[in-house]
Structure 1
Amino acid sequence: MTIASDIPRITLRPEKQGTFLAHHPWVLVSSLVGRPKNLQTGDVADLVLPDGRFIGRGLFHESSRICLRLYSWDKDAALDDAFWQHKLEQAIALRTELDLDDPHGAARLIYSEGDDLSGLIVDRYGKYIVVQFTAQVIYQRADMILSWLKERLRPAAIQVRVDGRVARAEKMEPQQTWVHGEPPTAPIEIMEHGIRLQLDLNESQKTGYYLDQRDNRHAAAKYLRGRSVLDVCCYLGGFSLAAARAGAGEILALDTSPRAIELARKHAELNGVSNIQFAHGDCFEQLETFVQSQRKFEAIVLDPPRFAGSRRNLNAALQAYHRLNRLAMNLLVPGGILVTCSCSGLVTRDDFRYMLAGAARKARRDLQILEQRGAAPDHPVRLACPETEYLKCFICRVL
């Protein structure tokens, strides 16, 4: 198939070509020769070099920092419904290969750039689907996408979300709406590695639950068997529940949110777990208090929210991670286990490792890294887009 040559062209600065020849999907205005004219948000456009050589084809946004999102590196590809539906099918097929189609479980079916569908996230919770749009150019194709998901997956209901921060950046309206089927009137139940969880899809962080940590919770639990555990930023209690199920000793779970603690406590009751105590408050203050009182733990889990929302916050974020991990190391007995995580995409794996080394020096402790983990496989990392490798989970032994 030959595509008409009248597709608008956007010219890339030649010194920027390496990134996009490697198939990174985000083209910033600063990477272009001049500002494109006579293009509207959602228009198909080609990225070319100054000599006219084709690089990729994508969708243009006239007022976003990411002015072009690339979806194809084939000059003969038409970005029509069949093109998008093929990409959707490829993503769903991968989850089937990964055995993530358990009707009682939960999985990320489409992971934006990781599945070459920049701007689209689709999660399945049992028989319900939650669709998050993070780019206006993809949201403009919502009717087609939602119709395909409805026919392909046959969900009980579909919810559409547009996060407030994303809405501001992409010139969209925030949204959290059920658009198909019968919405759940009560929390739904899913299973995660044998643990029962109840999720309120009308009142939850992200798209319902932190699915990216699913396998890390399970992997960390084996190191926590028989140990006293401090779970910092516990949210709905995932790490604590996995630890308890694996045979951990007494567990103290902390979170700044009283609502999260309430839900985590309910999960402990639901699973018949009685060795978890729950408390809410500022996690840094709690750790400082424990250090002052010389309290000790045999294992600590750190799973804080994202500290680095932008590059200008990166240094402050690394300082916060340093402080949090240093405090944790001071609280661990010799040979204690530290499970430490970062979901800040701007903090690279090397950054995180370097931070841990600095925190260990400051705490005058030696550190052995037992495992370096990332997100679950339904969050595939695309090497051309380092931003897809946002989650770090290090399982360490503190000497």
Structure 2
Amino acid sequence: MFYCLYVGFFLDQRDNRIDIERYIREGDRVLDVCCYTGGFSVHCGVIGAEVWGVDISKRALEVAEENMRLNNIDNYHLIHGNAFDVMRDLIEEGEFFDVVILDPPSFTRTSEDVKNALRAYNTLNYLGLQLSRRMLVTCSCSHHIDRETFKSTVVSASLRAKREIKQIGGYRTQSPDHVISMANKNLEYLKCLFFAVD
């Protein structure tokens, strides 16, 4: 990759991107929120999904578009804007997606920010659940928020949205090359949950 805020392509999500291919059907509509350079979008697009990617970084979307081209994906829409605003607009327009993926940057850098971060995760998932017909993939990369707290926040959002969610598989975390030291729990920072949505 030739663009970098981090390494340009979040390698810690590699296995989760591969795993999502099992749940994508040709013709699905997929909304990839905070898509960055298109990691999840590409994996869905190669299956034959219609992909909508949203990100606040114009440069990241330029790279995402190039990644679509390199992978011979032509059924995609890339939207530049604030994730919350774009999702509200899509709800207002009556859009629905078979699968909604939420992979935002960390909402908290310090433990003092956790309360505000949980509020943001709740709202993001609430909006995502209003747009999803079948599946929600939701992630957090903040080591200040443990996986049970994150899951509880998603459950709270589902109750608020009046949508039933059922967890698919167990807890997903970073790929094995991002090792987790037993002496430093902060290294287990990535939480990724797959939910069926009714």
TM-score class, shorter-chain normalisation, is: over 0.9
Offset at residue 215 of structure 1 (A): 0.9
What residue is the counterpart of 1:357 in the other structure? 155
Distance (whole Å) between structure 2 residues aligned to residue 284 and residue 314 of structure 1: 19
What residue is the counterpart of 1:337 in the other structure? 135
Q: Is the 8 A contact 1:233 1:254 kept in 2?
A: yes
| Structure with more of its chain in strand, by fraction | 1
Task: Return the letter of the residue paired with 1:265.
Answer: E
Distance (whole Å) between structure 2 residues aligned to residue 244 and residue 325 of structure 1: 23
What residue is the counterpart of 1:326 in the other structure? 126
Distance (whole Å) between structure 2 residues aligned to residue 368 and residue 383 of structure 1: 30
Q: Is the 8 A contact 2:33 2:100 kept in 1?
A: yes
Q: C-alpha offsets along residues 176-229 of structure 1, whole Å, 9 cap, x if unaligned?
A: xxxxxxxxxxxxxxxxxxxxxxx11xx411134211001111111221223210
TM-score, structure 2 as length reference: 0.95
Task: Return the letter of the residue paired with 1:288.
Answer: R
Of 97, 101, 106 in structure 2, the residue corresponding to residue 297 of structure 1 is: 97
Kindly indicate whether residue 166 of structure 2 is the aligned counterpart of residue 368 of structure 1: yes
Task: Return the letter of the residue paired with 2:140.
Answer: S
What residue is the counterpart of 1:24 in the other structure? none
Task: Return the letter of the residue paired with 1:233.
Answer: C
Relative contact order higher in (CA < 8 Å, ≥ 6 apart): 2
Distance (whole Å) between structure 1 residues aligned to residue 73 and residue 126 of structure 2: 30
What residue is the counterpart of 1:384 in the other structure? 183
Q: Which has the larger radius of gyration?
A: 1
Task: Return the letter of the residue paired with 2:40.
Answer: F
Q: Secondary structure at the match of 1:265?
A: helix
Distance (whole Å) between structure 1 residues aligned to residue 77 and residue 155 of structure 2: 31
Offset at residue 256 of structure 1 (A): 0.4
Kindly indicate whether residue 45 of structure 2 is the aligned counterpart of residue 244 of structure 1: yes
Q: C-alpha offsets along residues 106-128 of structure 1, whole Å, 9 cap, x if unaligned?
A: xxxxxxxxxxxxxxxxxxxxxxx
- Structure 2 segments unaligned to the other structure (5+ residues): none
Q: Is the 8 A contact 1:224 1:337 kept in 2?
A: no
Of 226, 229, 248 in structure 1, the residue corresponding to residue 30 of structure 2 is: 229
What residue is the counterpart of 2:87 in the other structure? 287
Distance (whole Å) between structure 1 residues aligned to residue 24 and residue 54 of structure 2: 17
Summarize the alignment of residues 155-170 of structure 1 with structure 2, pairs less than 5 Å apart.
Answer: none
Distance (whole Å) between structure 2 residues aligned to residue 294 and residue 326 of structure 1: 16
Q: How many residue pairs end up in the alignment?
A: 196
Distance (whole Å) between structure 1 residues aligned to residue 8 and residue 38 of structure 2: 14
Offset at residue 238 of structure 1 (A): 0.8
Q: C-alpha offsets along residues 17-56 of structure 1, whole Å, 9 cap, x if unaligned?
A: xxxxxxxxxxxxxxxxxxxxxxxxxxxxxxxxxxxxxxxx
Q: Is the 8 A contact 2:8 2:37 kept in 1?
A: no
Of 217, 223, 240 in structure 1, the residue corresponding to residue 17 of structure 2 is: 217
| Structure with more of its chain in helix, by fraction | 2
Q: Secondary structure at the match of 1:289?
A: helix
What residue is the counterpart of 1:258 in the other structure? 58
TM-score, structure 1 as length reference: 0.48
Distance (whole Å) between structure 2 residues aligned to residue 254 and residue 265 of structure 1: 12
Distance (whole Å) between structure 2 residues aligned to residue 296 and residue 348 of structure 1: 30
Offset at residue 243 of structure 1 (A): 0.7
Offset at residue 380 of structure 1 (A): 1.6
After the TM superposition, which segments of 4 or more aligned residues of structure 1 sit over 6 Å from their partners? none
Offset at residue 383 of structure 1 (A): 2.7
Distance (whole Å) between structure 1 residues aligned to residue 165 and residue 15 of structure 2: 23
Q: C-alpha offsets along residues 247-275 of structure 1, whole Å, 9 cap, x if unaligned?
A: 32x11111101111111001111111111
Q: Secondary structure at the match of 2:41?
A: helix
Q: Secondary structure at the match of 1:369?
A: strand
- Structure 1 segments unaligned to the other structure (5+ residues): 1-198
Aligned CA-pair RMSD = 1.1
Q: Secondary structure at the match of 1:236?
A: coil
Q: Is the 8 A contact 1:308 1:344 kept in 2?
A: yes
Q: Is the 8 A contact 2:108 2:142 kept in 1?
A: yes
Q: Is the 8 A contact 1:222 1:246 kept in 2?
A: no
Offset at residue 385 of structure 1 (A): 1.6
